Amino acid sequence: MFGKKTAKNDANGDLQDIGLRIASICGRYFLKSEHLHYGYWPPELAVELNNLPQAQQRYAEFLKSKIPASVKTILDVGCGTGHNASLLLDCGFAVDCVSPSDALSSATRDSLAGRGRLFQSTFESLDIDRKYDCILFSESFQYIDLNSAFENLTRFLNPGGVVLIADFFRVPAEGTSPLSGGHRLNKFKEALAKSDFVAVSEDDITDFTAPNLQLVDEALQQVALPSRDLILDTLRRRYPWSFAFMRFWARLLFNQKLLKMEYKYFSGERNADNFKKFKRYLVYVLKRKSEA
C-alpha cells in the first residue's frame, strides 16, 4: 500500500468499485473493450453500442494529442483497468498508475504487464517520492477532493510539467439533474484560481461525449427496466404474501431512496440531452503559473 484509506472513501469506494468492475467485465466480454470512459463520438460515428470501442479509442487518441512533446513520464491517477496507461506505454511513455480500487487492481496489473508501477491508494493519500512530467486524470478528477488536489499536484509534478484533466463538471441549469457526479464548474474554477496552476488550454467536448448517455439510456430502458419488471412480476405472482410484506417494509423504510432511484435510472431522463443541459465535459491542460 502507498497510502491510507479513509472511512468515507471505504464506504463510497466499495460501491464505486463494484460498479466499475461490472462495467469492466461487461465491456471486456460484450465489446472487447477495457476502457471505462465515455468515448469520443464525432458526428460521422453512428451512436451504437458496437461503435463504443471505436469511440473509446478515439478518446484515447484525443487525450494523447493533448500531451506536449516534452513529456516522458506520466502518472495516470484513477487509472481504472489501466487501459489508457497501457496505450500510453505502447507509445513510449513511462507510466505509473494510482488506483484505490481493490476490485480493479488485477485488471490494472494485467494492463501494465510489469511495465509500470501501480500505487494502490487514493490520490489524496498518495505517499511516494517520485515526480512526473504529466499527471493525467481521465474521468477521475471528479472523485478527487478539490481542497487538497492542487497542493498534491505540486508535490508530484516535475518542473515544466503539465496536468491533463478530462472530465465532466456540473453547471447550473433549471430543474433537478437526473445525472450525478462531477465537481461544480464554478467551484473548480475558484480552486484553480487560488492555486499555483493556470489553464493553458480548455476544450469543451460535451457534444462528443454526450452520445454515451444515449447508449446508457437505451440499456436502462430496453434491458434493465424490462428485466426488473419481469423479476418483480414473477416474485409478486409466486410469493404474493412475502412480496407484499417486503414491499410494505421497503416503502416504509426506503421510500425516498427508492423514488430517487426510480427517477434516476428508469424515468428515461438519464439521457444525452440532460447531460448537455446539466454537465460540461472539459479537457484542461494546466501548468504552473510561473511556467505558463
Ligand X SMILES: C[S@@+](CC[C@H](N)C(=O)[O-])C[C@H]1O[C@@H](n2cnc3c(N)ncnc32)[C@H](O)[C@@H]1O
Q: Which residues sit at the interface with ligand X, rule CB under 6 A?
A: 20, 35-37, 77-80, 84, 98-101, 104, 122-124, 138-140, 143-144
For cell 503559473, the residue is 289
CA–CA separation, 28 and 43 (whole Å): 25
Q: Contact at 8 Å (CB) between 169 and 143?
A: no
In the complex, the smallest distance separating the C-beta of residue 111 from ligand X, rounded to whole angstroms, is 10
Distance from C-alpha of 233 to C-alpha of 260, rounded to nearest angstrom: 21
Q: Show the cell assigned to 290.
A: 510561473
Shortest approach of ligand X to residue 152 CB, angstroms? Answer: 10
| Shortest separation between residue 99's beta carbon and ligand X, angstroms | 5
Return d(Cα 40, Cα 27) in angstroms, integer.
16
CA atoms within 13 A on the CB side of 255: 4
Q: Residue 152 or residue 235: which is nearer to ligand X going by CB?
A: 152
Angle (nearest 5°) at CA 209 between 100 and 181: 45
Q: Are 169 and 183 within 8 A, CB to CB?
A: yes
Partners of 94 in the β-ladder: 73
Closest CB to ligand X among residues 3, 178: 3
Task: Give me the least distance between CB of 126 and ligand X, in Å please.
Answer: 8
Of the two residues 98 and 286, which places its CB atom closer to ligand X in the complex? Answer: 98
Minimum CB separation from ligand X for residue 97, in Å?
9
Q: How far is the CB of 259 from ligand X (least distance, A)?
A: 26
User: Which residues partner with 284 through β-bridges?
Assistant: 165, 202
Using the minimum distance from each CB to ligand X, give the nearer residue, 79 or 165. 79
Cα 168 to Cα 148: distance, rounded to the nearest angstrom: 19
Nearer to ligand X, 247 or 264 (CB): 264
